[in-house]
Amino acid sequence: MLYIIGLGLSDEKDITLKGLEAIKASERVYLESYTSILPHVSCESLSRFYEKDVIIADREVVESNSDEILRNAGSVNVSFLVVGDPFGATTHTDLVIRAREMNIPVEIIHNASILNVIGACGLQLYNFGQTVSLPFFTETWKPDSWYVRISENRKIGLHTLVLLDIKVKEQSLENLARARKIYEEPRYMTVSQAANQMLEIEDLRNEKVYSPDTMAIGVSRIGSRDQKIVYAALKELAQADIGPPLHSIVLPGSRCHEMEIQYLEAYRQH
């Protein structure tokens, strides 16, 4: 059996009982390490808590060498651990498809993810529109397809969850071109960086989708004991420091219920 197990968003204790039982029954346990992180725990801590050696599975392993993860999973139990919920990233869907092609039984064990825990900011989940991802800009690459999705949401009054980029075990263009296995330091986009990039694209496109005065919500380490939620104008979030990763931004839509607005006021920057 291949188990794909959600870990939740905070630490080793967020695992479900069903997930923990599956891990303990597994011969090999992999931790997907590049679409998200647990802010309060290391791989070593997970190994101690689960009483199993946890093998780091980076992007290269999962996307290019998944056969190793699936090796003999038709005859022994293998666990693949995912921060949040298993279906928070398309990579994990691909792993399920590959397992099915090899006639390997698959069981999905779900957990909390950013897509439902973001309700902690007070906005109703059923009033959210399309979720978008905001990548790190470079001097020569500033993609803005996400801007169109935000525009579509705002036209019909829906909230937008903006997921912020992380870079783990990435290579520079030079090292990639020279096939050198040298990796950059991990980077996690902050609310401040994201707000600045969003305002930069608004300046360039000038379609009035939002403005520096548009109220938005910055969140960090959501779902953890030390989570932080800040309600402020985008121009204020562009200067804000809300601590260690992971960060996200929410743009509230015009359909905000009075109760949603009342709840948000507790997080307003003064």
199 annotated ligand binder: no
Task: Give 62-108 as a 3 state SS string.
Answer: HHHCHHHHHCCCCCCCEEEEECECHHHCHHHHHHHHHHHHCCCCEEE
114 annotated ligand binder: yes
11 annotated ligand binder: no
164 annotated ligand binder: yes
88 annotated ligand binder: yes
Cβ atoms of 115 and 83 within 8 Å: the answer is no
CA nearest neighbour of 264 among 121, 114, 118, 120: 121
- CA 218 vs. chain centroid, Å, equals 14
CA distance 90 to 114: 15
Largest separation between any pair of C-alpha atoms in the chain: 59
CA distance 214 to 200: 14
Bond into 204 cis (ω within 30): no
CA nearest neighbour of 161 among 104, 96, 93, 246: 246
Burial of 139 (0-12, 13-18, 19+ CB in 10 A): exposed
| Residue 47, both tokens | 């190994």
- Tell me if residue 32 falls in helix, strand or coil: strand
176 annotated ligand binder: no
158 annotated ligand binder: no
CA distance 63 to 34: 11
Instruction: Mark the binding-site residues, compressed into ranges.
Output: 9, 85, 88, 113-114, 164, 247
Which residues belong to the annotated binding site for S-adenosyl-L-methionine? 9, 85, 88, 113-114, 164, 247
